[in-house]
Amino acid sequence: MQKRLFEDRYRVFYDSSCRDAPGARAEYLAADHVTVVYEPRRALDLDAHLAARGIKRRFVVTVPGFAGVPAFLRGGDLLATAPGLLRFGLFHGLASAPPPIACPSLPMFMIWGRRDHDDPAHRWMREELEAAAKPVAAMAR
């Protein structure tokens, strides 16, 4: 069972004291990038999406999760393309801009098993999660 809660968009994050936002596709693709690679060697869906379209970026740093990205952006000229909502948390203080290339959207779903669908406690929890997601959905716009 699933219910769509909101949709996020990718943004390009960077340190504005060291560089400007990439203004064009060529500038974006020529830059050095940080990305997330999950174990075991699973790239982000974005990276697979771009590679399938022949778009290659130069990754100079890979980290196992988004929490590791900001340290490599601060004080340097690297770029990271990541979910836009991270600007309100982990990536707070970094500049961001829309990517100069087409990126897929990031729909966020609540997912649960059929056996829990009619459970009153589980139903309550889903309602609470949906209510908590409403302000996040507004920030994602």
Give the pLDDT of residue 116.
94
* Region 112-122 average pLDDT: 95
Instruction: Inform me whether the pLDDT recorded for 120 exceeds 80.
Output: yes
Farthest CA pair distance, the chain = 53
Closest to 13 in 3D by CA, of 51, 61, 50: 61
pLDDT classification of 39: cutoffs 50, 70, 90: confident
Extract the tokens encoding 93: 């203080």
* Region 78-94 average pLDDT: 96
Q: What would the pLDDT profile of 69-83 be if each residue is shown by its tens digit?
A: 999 999 999 999 999
Interatomic CA distance for residues 66 and 100, integer angstroms:
21
Give the pLDDT of residue 12.
97
Domains parsed from the chain with CATH numbers = 2-140 (3.40.190.10)
Cα distance from N-terminal residue to C-terminal residue, the chain: 26
Give the pLDDT of residue 40.
73
The model scores a pTM over 0.85: yes
